[in-house]
Each structure stands twice: as C-alpha cells, then as structure tokens.
Amino acid sequence: MEFSHKPVLLKECIDGLNIKPDGTYLDLTLGGGGHSSEILKRLNEKGRLIGYDKDGEAIEYCKKHLEKYSDKITFIREDFKNSLSYLKDNGIEPDGVLIDLGISSYQIDNAKRGFSYIKDAPLDMRMDQRQSLSAKEVINEYSKEELIKIFYEYGEESFAKKIASKIIEIRKIKSIDTTAELASVIDKCIPEQVKRKTGNPCKKVFQAVRIEVNGELKGLEDFIIGIARQMKNKARLCIISFHSLEDRAVKNAFKYLECNCICDKNAPVCVCNKRKEIEIITKKPLLPSEKECKENKRAQSAKLRIAQVIKGE
C-alpha cells in the first residue's frame, strides 16, 4: 500500500511560511511529503529542508518520493518534540517551521496499523513501531481509572466511565485484541439516540487511545514555545490541528509567546523580563475552503494558526 497523505491547507501553509529561496525550513510531520514537496520546489541550491517523522514507512516513502531534492533535504526518524536538541547541537535557526498534527491517511487506511475503527486489525496505533506501548496494552493493562481519564480528557467522551467499566468486565474473561472487538465494546455502551446524532460511536475513544499511545499532547505547549525561541527573527511558524485539544495547546502557546509581561497585574514594576516573542498572523485560525472539504473529508476539522517570530525588539 502506497504511503500517501493529501496535504491539508496546502496553499495557506506555503503562503504562511513566506518561503525564502535560500532559507532553512522544518517539516516536523512529513507524512506523505505533500507539504515538503511544495517547500522544496521553492528553495534554491542554498535552501534546506529538514523533515521529521517517527513513522519509518513515512520516511522511506518520502526518501523515494522526494529523491530529486535529495541534495536539499535531511530526513530524521524521530518524534518532532526531540528536534530542539538537534537544532541546538547543529546551530540551526530555521526560517520557518510547519507542524501538521493530524494522523496521515495512510495510517488510517492501512488496516494492519490498527488506527481504524472501521477495518478489523490487531490493536496497535503506534506511529513509531519501534516503541513498545501499543493500543493493546492500553486497553488490556490500564486500570479503570486510567481508562476513564484518557477517554474523558483525550476523547471528550461523555460515556467514558461506562465504556471503561465494560472493558474491565470483558477483560476478566478474555483480552481485547482487535479493533473490531474494541469497537463492539464501545458500540454496546452508547445509546441509540446518541449514535443517530453523533455518527460512529467509536471515534472519540479511538482518538483518545491513539493520543495516549503516541504521547501526542504531552509537552506540546512547551515544545511550541521552545521551537519559536529557536527560530530566526521574522521566521514563520505554521501549525495545523485537527481537534479541540490540539488547537487549545497551540492557542495557549501562542498566547504565552505573545505576552509582553507575565507579572502579577498588581505589581508596581515588571520583574519577569518576559517580552513579546511572536506576532500572531492569524487572529482566528484559517479553515479549509468548502471545495477542499468536499475533495478531502479529512480536512473538515483542520485549523491553521500562523505566527511570526520577533527577536530583539
């Protein structure tokens, strides 16, 4: 199966990055290389792109797909949150950074990866298949309290307690090993009237488990603050999110970076030395057009936020 992922908000991202032909750029979530390809087209012989992805299949696909740009791109198989040390160690200050926080179409469509609640497969959901923790361990080994917390916080699932209780009940008889088995458990816990209003009842729980397995939200706000501080003056940071938890993390990080002081409002003078570090370009997030949503249903929940770094001002 070919590793493909139709890039979301492509024009908006490329315009937002304001690409310099000789600049250094980071695509921290390569996926199928759709965004990277457009960045590389705009770079001259002095330009450079560093592409991150912890999915080995994504890296291998992009090495072939972007082969003609091999002299301009560096591939790194790593969680993008580890990129800060790489930049510091190599003295790199990027001119632009793109982060697409969505799961790739390939990962969803490839049944064996265990991300889909529609196709039966072993419970997996690991973006980095080198790691030990998978969805199977989460579902079969986490306590009832841990499952409730994950389903509620990461999936915003109203029936978190009921679903967790049912999982514990079934686990006493046999392990839950496949996506179809988990989907069946969830389905039994959601009232029919709720299903008619919200669609597939598995979406929230599968999202929650995926986020837990891959640590998608852990340290995200801190990372965004860190990467902004590592970038050049007037560099652009573009971040695409796909659900409210991700968007909240991006919004909070941007809000903090934009602050000119974080002292108590009653303090007579500023002692924090916190200064404004970014200019938020998108006061409201950019959304995909109606046309894009029709052509790519997975773009429907996407939000793009863009900021420009300010240094020495």
The DSSP annotation for 210-224 comes to: HHHHHTSSTTHHHHH
Instruction: Please tell me the CATH code under which domain 10-101+218-309 is placed.
Output: 3.40.50.150
111-214 in CATH: which number? 1.10.150.170
Give yes or no for a contact between 75 and 98, defined as CB atoms under 8 angstroms apart. no
Report yes or no: 305 and 239 within 8 Å, Cβ to Cβ: yes
CATH 1.10.150.170 in the chain is located at 111-214
Where in the sequence of the chain do the CATH 3.40.50.150 domains occur? Answer: 10-101+218-309
CB environment 112-127: b (16+ within 10 A), e (fewer): ebbbbbebebebbbbb
Cα–Cα distance between 154 and 198 in angstroms, integer? Answer: 17
* pLDDT tens for each residue of the chain, 313 residues long: 555 568 999 999 999 999 999 999 999 999 999 999 999 999 999 999 999 999 999 999 999 999 999 999 999 999 999 999 999 999 999 999 999 997 877 788 787 898 989 889 999 999 999 999 999 999 999 999 999 999 999 999 999 999 999 999 999 999 999 999 999 999 999 999 988 888 888 999 999 999 999 999 999 999 999 999 999 999 999 999 999 999 999 999 999 999 988 888 887 888 888 899 999 999 999 999 999 999 998 899 999 999 999 986 5
Q: What angle do CA 11, 14, 16 make, to 5 degrees?
A: 105
pTM: 0.92
End-to-end CA distance of the chain: give it in Å, rounded: 50
Instruction: Copy the structure tokens of residue 268.
Output: 């007579």
Please tell me the predicted confidence (pLDDT) of residue 2. 57
CA dihedral 243, 244, 250, 253 (to 10 degrees): -160
